[in-house]
Structure 1
């Protein structure tokens, strides 16, 4: 208990420090007491709601929509104030330096007239950018589905599968959805691709199998003539919920595995399936979750049983760290790996073909999009759903379409 009290005290002091500097900017540019009181009341409501949600939600409930909303509002109001803090604190540092110069030079260094007001307006202007972005991310961005298409060429692709199309989706996180109309729009976009195969790379729920109950009929309408295959993600194991008994967690895990056939997906648990055409074949390999530093149930050797090194292989593994630490250097040669997990942190900046940045890149070497090493590829899907923060800012929900082509390998 004492640790919680200390943590709460430190967090409170930090928030007070941030609010103090943000409020200084507001006071500098307006004397209207009503605006000031609205500012203060909003801060109290946002912080109070987050604290209440944390303290009132039992761990057995897992991550709830109420938590996501509270966390989303906290970020929406806090991130802009951090921007204001950086600007205002920076200006204070300059003033201190000027004062020190004045003292040591026996002279007087006066700040420019109106500088404080200018800096305050600058701080508020800059803060408005993330504030508007986060609001858009919550209201619109979380369902702003994008279709990203790639064509990959392999010299050893069997001729019969030249032109094979794959649609990859990942990280459904059904417990976060709030709009059947918007999710149906995403499902329709997937079916519009008319791909030969649909591959789902894990995290069908946040915590519990029941989260999918309202969405089964919708997702079972996904269509692919050569099959729909899936694997588990880290959230599918129930490790982020405090269960009343071990048996309850075990039953939930079994129920999550049973959801996959209910929506027409063949769940691969460290196993593979072979697609045959005109006497030729390719393999779909699916491992359980393998993540650097936590759950490592994935077993490549077991999943590849019965296959040959020369077989063309498409590997599904939820966490891209698996590719980095095991798959890409494996001599058994997994031609194409499909992962998800990172969500691109659901926030960042992307200008296609020009610039791509997210805090996620400081955790994962492969965090969003297509990567190629040793002639082997991995695509890290940004996710169909969302988790924790109930929105997306600059990193949109993704439907990936990959076409395989026979020919000289991609550079």
Structure 2
């Protein structure tokens, strides 16, 4: 309870400070009252959603939107305060200087400068508006990102082989069937040889996928649809009445994937064949650094696979690639991961800049990387969780074409 009280006090102080900029910039009282009401509504809705019996752990759509609106308001307040606090230091310095070195007897601080408040509010409105637009439109702004990767030892028959990768569906967050349908159609439109899904089908429970199973069952590729589990698929982030119910939820999710036509790889492998040649497709359960579940067993998945085989590995968390996979003596040519979502927020201008705060936690967080002659593609995710939107880091459908070096 104390942490909520402290949080609300800090929020109100930030809001009061931002209100000073609004009062300086606008002389209309209704503008001031509108900001006060909006601020109170945002914090009130957030508290209502997150102080329930579950402690806010079940990320329902109302909770996600409450968090999103709070995030937008806090961004507005923080940027406004950066300008106002700097000006206040300057105003205080001027007041002290005038008291000491001028003839005036009373200590006074100069008034706020209106033009600076207007600039502060204008700049603060940019992330505020972007976060709101990300909730309205950005979360379904699907992008098809295409990569061509070359390998010396790719079997000739697989030259030009096309893979579509999707990841992090988080079906419990979806709220627009027509937009999700568009995304599914866009995946099928790529007409890839195989579709690979790298985990996190739900936020917490299998039942979240039920309204969407008919759509995802429409995914089709010549060589099939394969999948692995992500950290959210195990039901670890909600309370269960018993371990038996939690285990049943996981089994139901596995069964559901099978019903939809997904071949779920649980520390196992399959061979993809073409014209008498083959490549190995391996999939491990979730293995993540920093408190995430380490269920994946790479050694088990490798059983029956030759070192000489061309190998593609599906592993949800890219930290597995960094900590384990690239050092393995089996040499995994291509690893496909997701998990990071690119934090659903950042700046990307192809060929110029790619930045997100998530880079401070994950070295490999979005796109293709190469280390020790091995590739990884970290998919930015098809869905969203927590903040119900995306800004700058859009939902991704990866299309990867395998090429044999030296083969025309």
On whether the aligned pair clears a TM of 0.5, the verdict is yes
The match for 1:226 among 218, 223, 234 is 223
- Is residue 2:64 matched to residue 1:68? yes
Once residues 318 and 152 of structure 1 are traced to their aligned partners in structure 2, the CA distance between those partners, rounded to angstroms, is 20
Instruction: Tell me the distance in 2 between the aligned counterparts of 1:200 and 1:113.
Output: 61
Structure 1 residue 387: Cα displacement: 0.4
- Which of 30, 34, 40 is the equivalent residue of 1:38? 34
Give the aligned partner of residue 297 of structure 1. 295
TM-score scaled by length of structure 2: 0.95
Partner SS state of residue 226, structure 2: strand
Deviation, structure 1 residue 96: 3.2
Aligned-residue Cα RMSD (Å) equals 2.1
1:17 positional shift: 2.2
Alpha-carbon separation, structure 2, partners of 1:345 and 1:60: 20
- Give how far 1:94 is off: 2.6
Task: Select the residue among 236, 240, 245 that pairs with 2:242.
Answer: 245
Q: State the Cα distance separating 1:330 from its structure 2 match.
A: 1.5
- 1:371 positional shift: 0.7
CA-CA distance at 1:245 after TM superposition: 1.4
Cα distance in 1 between the residues matched to 2:168 and 2:256:
15
Report how far residue 31 of structure 1 moved: 2.3
SS at match of 2:113: helix
- What do the CA deviations read for 1:51-108 (whole angstroms, capped 9, x no partner)? 011123535972111111111111122211111111111222233344455567x359
CA contact (8 A) 1:95 1:111 kept: no
Match of 1:51 in 2: 47
Q: Give the conservation status (yes or no) of the 8 Å contact 1:60–1:244.
A: no
Which of 329, 332, 335 lines up with 1:334 in the alignment? Answer: 332
User: Does residue 87 in structure 1 map to residue 49 in structure 2?
Assistant: no
Which residue does the alignment assign to 1:288? 285
Which residue of structure 2 aligns with residue 163 of structure 1? 160
Residue 316 of structure 1, CA deviation:
0.5
Structural mapping, 1:294-373, within 5 Å? 294-373=292-371
Equivalent in the alignment of 2:120: 123
Residue in structure 2 matched with residue 396 of structure 1 by the alignment: 394
C-alpha separation between the residues in 1 aligned to 2:93 and 2:159?
67
**Distance in 1 of aligned mates of 2:74 and 2:56:** 28
**2:281 touches 2:313 (CA, 8 Å); kept in 1?**
yes
Select which of 5, 9, 29 maps to 2:5. Answer: 9
Q: How does 1:183-198 map to 2 (within 5 A)?
A: 183-198=180-195
3-state SS in 1 of match to 2:164: strand
Residue 129 (structure 1) shift = 0.6
The 1:49/1:159 distance shift into structure 2, 3 A limit, reads: same
Cα offset, 1:253, TM superposition: 0.9
Paired with 1:357 and 1:14, the residues of 2 have a C-alpha distance of: 29
In 1, distance between residues paired with 2:255 and 2:389? 28
Comparing 60-69 with 341-350, which one deviates more in the overlay? 60-69
2:267 touches 2:282 (CA, 8 Å); kept in 1?
A: yes
Structure 1: which 5+ residue stretches go unaligned?
none
- Cα deviations across residues 351-376 of structure 1 (Å, max 9, x unaligned)? 11100111111111111111111121
* CA deviation profile, 1:20-67 (whole Å, cap 9, x unmatched): 221110010122221111111111111000001112353597211111
1:152 and 2:157 correspond: no
Distance in 2 between residues matched to 1:24 and 1:233, nearest whole Å:
46
Whether the 8 Å contact between 1:60 and 1:241 is mirrored in structure 2 is no
- Cα shift at 1:379: 0.6
Find out whether 1:208 has 2:166 as its counterpart.
no
CA distance in 2 between counterparts of 1:347 and 1:111 reads 43
**CA offset at residue 279 of structure 1?**
2.4
**Could you list the per-position Cα deviations for residues 205-257 of structure 1 after superposition, in whole angstroms to 9, with x for gaps in the alignment?**
00110111111111111110011100000000000001111111111111111
